[in-house]
Amino acid sequence: MKKLLITGLIAMGAMFFAPAKAHAQVIATFDVPFSKDINNVPVQGSSGSYHTVVTYLGGNSYSVTVNGNPDGNPNTSLVPGTPAPPGPVPKSGVGTLSFNFNSTLGGLISATGGTASNTAYVGAPGGNLGGPNNVAFGTAAGVSPAAWQINSGLTLRYTALDETFYVAPHGGNSFTGTFTLAQPLTNIASIAASYQDSGQQYTFTQQLVPEPATAAMALPGLLPMAPLALMALRRRRKATSDVEVDEAEA
Encode pLDDT of 58-84 as tens digits.
999 999 999 999 999 999 887 877 877
Do 164 and 244 have their domain in common?
Answer: no
Q: Per the domain annotation, does 1 fall within a domain? A: no
Is residue 29 located within the same domain as residue 95? yes
Closest CA to 68 of 168, 177, 140: 168
pLDDT score recorded for residue 82: 80
Q: Do residues 243 and 159 both lie within one domain?
A: no
Do 125 and 225 lie in one domain? The reply is: no
Q: Both 130 and 226 in a single domain? A: no
Which residues have a Cβ under 8 Å from the Cβ of 220 and sit 6 or more positions away? none
Q: CA–CA separation, 49 vs 31, rounded Å?
A: 6
Domain of residue 94, residue span: 21-207
Q: Are residues 225 and 151 part of one domain?
A: no
The closest of 178, 195, 155, 201 to 65, measured between CA atoms, is: 178
pTM of the entire structure? 0.77
HSE-CB for 220 with a 13 A CA cutoff: 4
- Quote the Cα angle for 159-161-162, to 5°: 115
Q: Yes or no: say if 48 and 73 are a contact pair by the CB < 8 Å rule.
A: yes
Task: Tell me, yes or no, whether 184 and 67 share the same domain.
Answer: yes
Residue 9 lies in a domain: no
Do 133 and 48 lie in a common domain?
yes
Alpha helix ranges (H) inside the chain: 2-17, 214-222, 225-249
Whether 12 is in a domain gets the answer no
Q: Are residues 109 and 42 in the same domain?
A: yes
Q: Same domain for 150 and 196? A: yes
128: domain CATH number?
A: 2.60.40
Residues 55 and 130 in one domain: yes
pLDDT, block means (10 residues), the chain with 250 residues: 46 44 86 96 96 97 98 88 82 98 98 98 95 95 98 98 98 98 98 97 91 43 49 56 50
Counting the structural domains of the chain, the total is 2
Say how far apart CA 207 and CA 19 lie, in whole Å: 27
For 156-169, the pLDDT digits (tens) are 999 999 999 999 99
Q: Is residue 7 part of a domain?
A: no
pLDDT at position 219 is 43
Same domain, 148 and 199: yes
